[in-house]
Amino acid sequence: MSFQPLLPGSTSPSGQQITLGVMGGGQLGRMFVQAAQAMGYFTAVLDPDPASPAGLISHYHIRAAFDDQQGLAQLMQRCDAVTTEFENVPAPALLSLGAQRRVAPSAACVALAQDRVQEKNLFLRCAPHSGVRPAPYAVIDSAAAAAGAAHELLPGILKTARLGYDGKGQVRVATRAELVDAWEQLGQVSCVLEKMLDLQAECSVLVARSANGACVSFPVQKNTHQGGILTRTEVYPGVLPEALAQRAQASTAALAQQLDYVGVLCVEYFIVSAGAAALELVVNEMAPRPHNSGHYTQDACDLSQFDAQVRTLAGLPLPTPRQHSPALMLNLLGDLWFEPNAQRSQRSEQAVSPPWDQVLALPGTHLHLYGKLQARHGRKMGHINITAPSVAQLRQTSVQAQALLGLAD
């Protein structure tokens, strides 16, 4: 399938400026809006929050719930094409938009990514093409399934099939009795029990795929999580074994092709030991949109993940992205606004801005704050991308930035 590109800065047959829309006004929506506006598009955001990060900077902000028929109708009238910034948009809303407007990724792809059970089925189906399998798992959707779960899956992690993020909706369990309790604690909803793997590392891969089937990969990200939340991403030659990185890229492209996916897709992988110093890749989950681990592309590549989202949505060409600098991204959680650190002596519950002036004095630091008006513990407030001419310099700048911010290594 291909279609006439929506050229930047042009007008539609009805005479209105070509406008790209996004479902959701969070930070990912904001960075999509920034990329689209940089290219001369008008933008529209649907989000009920009057202070949503994307809504605050968009040409149009439709303040309505994601399933509000009037809001959706308004979005459709405003926009020539619509994308999404989070996977939990109601699939029927995307379906109805898709009946009259170009929507990428499709409602079907987004619906699949909303549900871990469907996602795992896809991973299993794709294993012969992608060469990568998910962690051993079982669907737990009844007390009987919990009580009878296979011993080989314990210790494991019970994850709700829907609506989990940043480690929320997950409980670690060591025994069947704990599993039964955990399933009740999670509200007796459909869940997946995954075997707890001994992770050597984690990585993720972004691909962008056009409506005509052209697919490009970004360099593979090595990710560090703390408490289930991504804290750091590193991308430079040698950060991961090359053969493994290539397999992760091939696997992600195979998944995108299997789904006939259009847009930016991120797939997360675990790296586990396979004996005798060999490493194996295990597929964890996917996001039908740009991803926190892909923010490094904004400053280290000649095409960012948000540029790619704009291009795939508008039907523009999609050259292979090139990384021009070693890169490291640090997530900035709201805790930084409260925590004491080496440079700031007093602990206070009054939010205080971190010492950006000192951080920005370091060469190759790129600050991205999301315009969230209130800092809260654990809230993603922004990120810093660090770029450098060499990996040694990158590490040095990172150590300095982390010391200034009181961020652990």
Specify the long-range contacts of residues 238-245, CB closer than 8 Å, at least 24 apart.
Answer: 238/391, 240/201, 240/203, 240/271, 241/279, 244/203, 244/271, 244/279, 244/281, 245/203, 245/219, 245/220
Q: What part of residues 218-237 is at the interface with ligand ATP (CB under 6 A)?
A: 225, 228
The span from the CA of 61 to the CA of 34, in Å, is 14
- Which residues are within 8 A (CB) of 33 and not within 5 positions of it... i.e. 6 or more apart? 22, 43, 45, 54, 57, 58
Rg (alpha carbons) of the chain, rounded to whole number:
21
Residue of 157, 182, 235, 359 that binds ligand ATP (CB under 6 A): 157
Q: Pick what 165 binds: Mg ion, ligand ATP, none; C-beta below 5 to 8 Å, kind-dependent.
A: ligand ATP
Q: What part of residues 168-227 is at the interface with ligand ATP (CB under 6 A)?
A: 168, 194, 196-197, 199, 202, 225
Q: Pick what 392 binds: Mg ion, ligand ATP, none; C-beta below 5 to 8 Å, kind-dependent.
A: none
Instruction: Closer to ligand ATP by CB, 41 or 370: give it.
Output: 370
Instruction: Closer to ligand ATP by CB, 284 or 397: give it.
Output: 284
285 binds ligand ATP (CB under 6 A): yes
Instruction: Closer to ligand ATP by CB, 264 or 388: give it.
Output: 264
The packing angle between helices 91-100 and 69-78, to 10°, is 40
87 binds ligand ATP (CB under 6 A): no
Angle at CA of residue 289, ends 286 and 290, nearest 5°: 100
Instruction: Closer to Mg ion by CB, 157 or 313: give it.
Output: 157
350 - beta bridge partners?
A: none
163 binds ligand ATP (CB under 6 A): no
117 binds ligand ATP (CB under 6 A): no
Q: What part of residues 40-79 is at the interface with ligand ATP (CB under 6 A)?
A: none
284 binds ligand ATP (CB under 6 A): yes
Q: What part of residues 286-345 is at the interface with ligand ATP (CB under 6 A)?
A: none
164 binds ligand ATP (CB under 6 A): yes
Task: Render 231-269 in DSSP notation, one character per residue.
Answer: EEEEESTTSS-HHHHHHHHHHHHHHHHHTT--EEEEEEE
Q: Hunting for tokens 């060591």 — which residue is that?
A: 174
Specify the long-range contacts of residues 398-404, CB closer than 8 Å, at least 24 apart.
Answer: 398/328, 398/330, 400/362, 401/330, 401/359, 401/362, 401/365, 402/330, 403/342, 404/341, 404/342, 404/343, 404/354, 404/355, 404/358, 404/359
Q: Which stretch binds ligand ATP (CB under 6 A): 92-100, 165-173, 174-182, 337-345?
A: 165-173
Q: What part of residues 259-278 is at the interface with Mg ion (CB under 5 A)?
A: 268
Binding mask 129-148 for ligand ATP (x = CB under 6 A): ------x-------------
- Nearest distance from C-beta of residue 409 to ligand ATP, angstroms: 17
Per CB under 5 A, residues contacting Mg ion are 268
Binding site for ligand ATP (CB under 6 A): 135, 157, 159, 164-168, 194, 196-197, 199, 202, 225, 228, 268, 284-285
